Amino acid sequence: MSLENYRSHYTFGMDFGTSDFKFGPITCGENPWIVNNRGYFPDKRSAVYRAFETAADVVVGDDVPLYLQSSEDLTARLVYPMRNGMVEKSDDNAWRVVSALCEFGLNAYPTKQNNGFQGYNVVASLSSVSPRYMYERLLDIFKQANRSGMVRAVTVIPQPFAVAIGHGVTTCVVIESGHGNSQVCPISKYPISSAQVALNRGGGDANAITSEILKDAGYGDLANEESLVRKVKEQIGLVPQDLETAITEAKRSPRKFRARYKVSGTRVEIDLEKNSWTRFLIGEYVFNPNHEIFESYFTRGMPRPRDVKMGDTIFRGMLDFGDAIIASVERCPVELQPLLYREIILSGGNFSWKVPESLEGIAVDAPTKIKSLLRQKDIKNVSVKMTASPQLSVWHGCIIYGFAVPDDYEWNWQRLEGWMKLSG
């Protein structure tokens, strides 16, 4: 089998997202297999485990729900290793989950050894703020996995870089916003790591303010149910073009802006009634938490997004998305800056905001909001787009990278690029 033919069959992509793990070979077409990026550690003292001892040390993939027990049990035994995009160096349980996921992913696509298969060329994708030790640990995991001959070569690329590849743009700024944090990453054929800006704000913060809004509206009993709060955020949360205008309009016509959500299959109905204007706070908080209206929430106990240092990266808490993009682009050569503003790509579930037809103009989508924030800072000639497949673009990028990069381009720790050959 020629090298070209080999790549068109045995290139394998793995995207370690904050919530989901997407994986599969190039032959999957457009849609890889998706499982939760999590693992469950069964209680080995339980009578069932001792009687049968069939469960693995850590359970990953579609079988996890079969092992779940009480909700108290979940906090200790159900581990989401990349909830914040990063795995602590000493968090052995999280690394065991990552290892189990790699093994699960590769074994999900077994290949006959007699048709020229020498192992997959695996491209794994991590958060762009991943420190070097995460690369080292992940590559070690693949070395271990290669004992079964499933991996021929492996490489790791940052997620925003994979998004740019999947989206087909070679000079751009990618903003990836997940559950725990967001990253602004300029790209010009290579990721410009030194210009990267990380924010300590993501979908989880939108959940936090939704929870406060529910408490204020008299739904305190529901405000602690994370999955429900997330649903409420998705159903009633809106991004305002301009917060002041949106609040004024919503207070003037409360019926038009009324936020109501019936939880299907239950008797629970949430109706913000005269407080429906607060639905605009949910979206605004994600993009810009600096408005004075949020101070009342901070003083009443909602934690203010703080600057934190993780690995070598400082995650900024209160920087709005407009300032974050400008800070990132202005670390690049002046010649490159206009080209970067012309291609801003948004990726990640935290940018999926609805715009009800009747509220168009007052409520806007994420690209319009970003444009609006940049316009306020006098950056006008910009183009902002959502990536075509927000959930899958990283995996698409991994597959293209694995297919196109030459086989003899060897892994280099300075560049953090290239193939680490494990066999063949």
Partner 1 sequence: MGAQQNSPLGMDGSSLSFTLGNDKLIVNILTANDIVQRNRILEVLLHLASFRGALTQLYVVAPRLLGASLDAQIFRSHGIGLLLFDERRIEETIKPQPFFQNSQSQVITATPDPTVLSELATLKSMYSQMERALENIRAEFTSIKQNSEDKAPGLERDTTGLVFEPVMGAPSLLVKPADDTLPPFFANNPWLDVLSRRGRSEVAPLAG
Binding partner 1 (rule: CB under 8 A), the pick from 60, 138, 165, 239 is 165
Shortest distance, position 258 Cβ to partner 1, whole Å: 41
Of 129 and 206, the one with the shorter C-beta distance to partner 1 is: 129
Residues 322-361 that bind partner 1 (CB under 8 A): none
CB neighbourhood size of 62 (10 A): 12
The token pair at 339 is 């080209």
166 binds partner 1 (CB under 8 A): yes
Site string for partner 1, 180-199 (x = CB under 8 A): ---------xxxxxx-----
Distance CA 343, CA 370 (A): 12
User: Given the rule CB under 8 A, which of 41-49, 54-62, 74-82, 166-174 is the region that contacts partner 1?
Assistant: 166-174
Shortest distance, position 399 Cβ to partner 1, whole Å: 7
Burial tier of 368 (Cβ tally within 10 Å: 0-12, 13-18, 19+)? middle
- In the DSSP assignment, the letter for residue 263 is P
Beta bridge partners of 120: 151
Binding partner 1 (rule: CB under 8 A), the pick from 53, 72, 378, 408 is 408
Write down the residue that tokens 């938490």 correspond to: 289
Residues that bind partner 1 (rule: CB under 8 A) add up to a total of 42
**Helix, strand, or coil here: 315?**
strand
Of 370 and 405, the one with the shorter C-beta distance to partner 1 is: 405
Q: Are 393 and 162 in contact (CB under 8 A)?
A: yes
170 binds partner 1 (CB under 8 A): yes
133 binds partner 1 (CB under 8 A): no
Of 263 and 310, the one with the shorter C-beta distance to partner 1 is: 310
Say which residues have a Cβ less than 8 Å from residue 116's Cβ, sequence separation at least 6.
Answer: 1, 6
CB neighbourhood size of 418 (10 A): 16
Shortest distance, position 420 Cβ to partner 1, whole Å: 14
Distance CA 124, CA 32 (A): 13
Q: Which residues in this chain contact partner 1 in the complex, by CB under 8 A?
A: 2-5, 7-8, 26-30, 164-166, 168-170, 189-194, 312, 396-397, 399-401, 403-406, 408-410, 412, 414-418
